[in-house]
Every structure is written in structure tokens, then in C-alpha cells.
Structure 1
Amino acid sequence: MSREKLARRQAELLHALLADGPAPAGFDAARLRVEANVLRRKHGRVLAHQRPELAEALGERFGPLFAEFTAGRPKRDTERSGAYADEFVTWLIAGGHLPKPKRGLVSRFRRR
């Protein structure tokens, strides 16, 4: 297999796992969905570790809210985790799950 073809196949697999893309040829779609869900939960745990104040503010709601967010907006394979976390915070504020920051877009839940 050429490097170009291998790179294309790897990109297809990442797209299926991280961005709800179609299963590449030769992969079981149901198994990829299971793995994608595992990766999203893992990403949620990493985000909770990186932004403990956010996880603390949400408490038990963190996991279900992150799952809801990722179901509607999966992380793209080229997207930085910090930018995705900031988008999650914006989504939480817009949905009324967190209070609106008092000073513009700066919030204690965002990286500065």
C-alpha cells in the first residue's frame, strides 16, 4: 500500500472516529460507533482534568452534558482540545447550564 493511500485510509478512520464520518471500507460501522463513544468519554475525562473548575461547577451534570454536546458537535480530527473546550463552555452558557460571564466572553471556565 502506498504512503498516500495509507494516509488517506488513516484520515478516513479518524474522521469516522472523531467526527461522525462514515465507516471506511473494511470497517464495521457498529464497532466504530462504540469506539467513537469510548473516545468521546475519554475526551470528556481529559477535559474535566484540564478544566477542573468547569467539572466542579457542573458536578454530576458534566458527563451527560458533555455527551449531549459531542453528539451534536463532535470534535474534528484537526481541532485543538482547548478550542473545543471553549466551544463547550460557550454551548453551556447558551443553553443556560452555566451563568453568563459578567465581563464579555472572558469566563473563569475558559483558558486565558
Structure 2
Amino acid sequence: MSERDLAARQAELVAALTSGKPVPQGFDAPRVEAARVALLRKRAGEVSRQWPMLAASFGAGFKREFARWAAARPTRGSLRDGWDMARELRLTGAAAEELAGREVSMRYDGAAAPRPRRSPAIRSAGGAVVLQIAGRVRVIRRAR
């Protein structure tokens, strides 16, 4: 087997493990599936450390919900995975504030890596307003 063939087989295996692609011929499908599930659980744990309020909003079902969302998406890192997932959901409460806090403190267009925001920014999150000025993020909750 040439290096090119080996590289192609490795790429097929990685795609099966991380992007939901078919298991390449010659690999044990149940073992590849077990490894894929374990990698999704690991990714969910990493995302829950980066996005604790997002994870808490799902309770014990976060790993299952994240695995469903991420099954056909290759990882882009836990910060970006959580950010992409949070943007697709209709978040409320602390999870919405967490997303708004990230949105005001960093620029992220969904393609390039997040980078610090230098200009002032403001976002509304449910019952709160999140404001960033001079690098400081403040959450202002409305009186009830």
C-alpha cells in the first residue's frame, strides 16, 4: 500500500469517526461506531466545560443532545462547537446570557476563529442586556 493510499484510507476513517460518513471497507463497523460514540461524548464534555450554562440548560440530556447535533459535523474545537450549537437553538435564561456575553466580547462569523472584540457591543438576552465597553462585560437584568 502506497503512502497516498494509506493517507486516503486514514482520511476515510477520520471522516467516519467525526463526520458521520460510512465506515471504510475493511474496518470493523461496530468498533468504529463505538469509537465514534466515545468521541462524541468526549466532545460534549469539552463543550460543557467551555459553555457551562448551555450544558446546564439541557440537564442530564446534554451529551445526548450534543451528540445528535454534532453527529455529522466535524469538530472545530469546543469553543466553536458550542457557539455554533448555541446560535442554532432558541436559548433562554442563563444559557442565552452566556451566548450574549460571548457575542459582545468576541467576534465570530461562523467561519474564522473567534477573536477579541475591540469596539463596544450590546446584545439582548431574554430578560437581560449584555454590554461590553473597554473589554469589560456587564449583564444588566431588568427589574421584575
TM-score (norm 1): 0.72
The structure whose Rg is larger is 2
- Structure 2 residues not aligned, in runs of 5+: 107-144
- Structure 1 residues not aligned, in runs of 5+: none
Which residue identity does 2:9 align to in structure 1?
A: R
Q: Does 1:64 align with 2:64?
A: yes
* Larger helix fraction of residues: 1
How many percent identity over aligned positions?
A: 33
Post-superposition Cα deviations, 1:14-36, rounded to whole Å, max 9, x if no partner, equal 01101111111110122211211
* Larger strand fraction of residues: 2
Q: Which has the higher contact order (CA 8 A, sep 6+)?
A: 1
Post-superposition Cα deviations, 1:8-63, rounded to whole Å, max 9, x if no partner, equal 11100001101111111110122211211110000000111122232244433422
Which residue identity does 1:86 align to in structure 2?
A: W
Alignment-derived partner of residue 75 in structure 1: 73
Instruction: Measure the CA separation in 2 of the matches of 1:24 and 1:40.
Output: 19
The alignment yields a C-alpha RMSD, in angstroms, of 2.5
Deviating above 6 A after TM superposition, structure 1's stretches of 4 or more consecutive aligned residues are none
Alignment-derived partner of residue 21 in structure 1: 21
Alignment-derived partner of residue 86 in structure 2: 89
Instruction: Measure the CA separation in 1 of the matches of 2:7 and 2:64.
Output: 34
DSSP-derived class of the 1:107 partner:
helix
TM-score (norm 2): 0.58
Post-superposition Cα deviations, 1:78-105, rounded to whole Å, max 9, x if no partner, equal x522333222112222xxxx22958xxx
